[in-house]
A and B are shown apart, each in its own frame.
Chain A
């Protein structure tokens, strides 16, 4: 792969390094303060982080492709999460356990994800320039439809047999569907414990496969088209690329991956809270990605891994650190939610502000040309 030569813009590198990734640096500081305060043993922390990496990375990776295609942060990933949940509900109903159950759920989630991805892609194509807010509202809209289906149609219209899933009133699904017979089945398969830290090799293998797919995908024709569309839609269209279709495919792929990611996440958690587990997923994944130094138009796999580690360390240590400082553990809870939302706000503002700053540079250059010209004229 040839090396892409890019001239580093002037301005000393350290300042530019700090300006480009203020968010990750801020997080390193927060973690540095909170970890000693929280008083968790290193092995406990490591264990927690590794398990959380195992269950979240797949989900966060699904955000990379829409960013590459210029659709910004895909808040519509909750659609994929819902598709995964619906598949899991069926699998739990048919009592299919263990790894076969997980594989069946993944296969089953594909049609739902594709359907929801197409719908979301179409709507995003209709609201160009406002993709993020539209995908955010779509996730609420589909959440309404999801509840309509799961809370009312499952039972009378869609046959649900198993008593442990159906609500006693005959229609709708319980608030929590237990996946105990599927719990950690992927993680335990080839898990290795080193110095007290359980490392789920199989899950990481699956994640590695997806990472390979994403890097390989960038080098395919479709990946190249997406990068072109992401940077300049008009030029891509003039070159003959079907812009709408490319953007649609990027959303469908992202939704399908989100579906798989959700199944891995829930398999690790061991139970499925039908109505609430997907509502915050989008926000936490995007916060994690942004913490890793990604921005609205540029993200790579490095950001995902760094983001998960930093974000989740903060997520684990904040409550107890908060309790130590103020004596009330609720403070820590609120603190970590505040930080997650704060991080997204900061990242969005910096992205928009940077877009506007590029415009004003041209003016200064002109002023300088003028000065040099006058000097020459003066000699």
Chain B
């Protein structure tokens, strides 16, 4: 009694679900983005740090960086955008830049170098993966408490 039509529709629904899943995989991918206001040498030219940069992500102020400082923000999705209020040198006037960066899918933490970005240098200059150098403290708790009755589970 299963007519071909219902089978077809069922297939279509499954495909739709998988498609939604895939889309969610893409737009849901979360990254932690770090931005360094630090001097940089690239292809022989030297770019020094900016005097002061205030960073707005989704028009919420996230960080105010002086030279050699690092800010951080979390971002869901691949195309990251932020606005920077940059004061190049002490006493200089403020310029506003909105920057769009394509975040690589498989990197959890991403470090952006602000001066390189402002100069419009290629990606390999302003972007590198964040490697957590903090040693992972192996906290050894006994995994898998199968039968114990966990009291504290506030419900």
Contacts and interface: CB of A to CB of B under 8 A. Distances in A.
Interface in A274-291: 275-277, 279-280, 284
Contacts of A162: 108
Nearest to A181: B30
Nearest to A276: B150
Nearest to A280: B153
A154 B29 CA distance: 21
B136 A104 contact: no
A94 interface: yes
Contacts of A167: 143
B74 interface: yes
Nearest to B18: A107
Nearest to B132: A163
Contacts of B20: 103, 107
A275 B143 contact: yes
B91 interface: no
B108 A181 contact: no
A313 to B, nearest CB: 13
A151 B76 contact: no
A107 B24 CA distance: 10
B27 A273 contact: no
B141 interface: yes
A221 to B, nearest CB: 13
B153 A273 contact: yes
Given A97-B76, A163-B136, A181-B30, A175 B155 contact: no
A99 B155 CA distance: 23
B118 interface: no
A181 B74 contact: yes
A98 B153 contact: no
Nearest to A150: B144
Contacts of B104: none
Contacts of A144: 146
Interface of B: 17-18, 20-21, 23-25, 27-31, 74, 76, 108, 136, 138, 140-141, 143-146, 148-151, 153, 155
18 contacts: A97-B30, A97-B76, A100-B76, A103-B20, A103-B28, A104-B21, A104-B28, A107-B18, A162-B108, A181-B30, A273-B153, A275-B145, A276-B145, A276-B148, A276-B153, A277-B153, A279-B150, A280-B149
Interface of A: 52, 56, 94-101, 103-104, 107-108, 110, 143-144, 147, 151, 162-163, 167-168, 172-175, 181, 273, 275-277, 279-280, 284, 312, 315, 333, 337
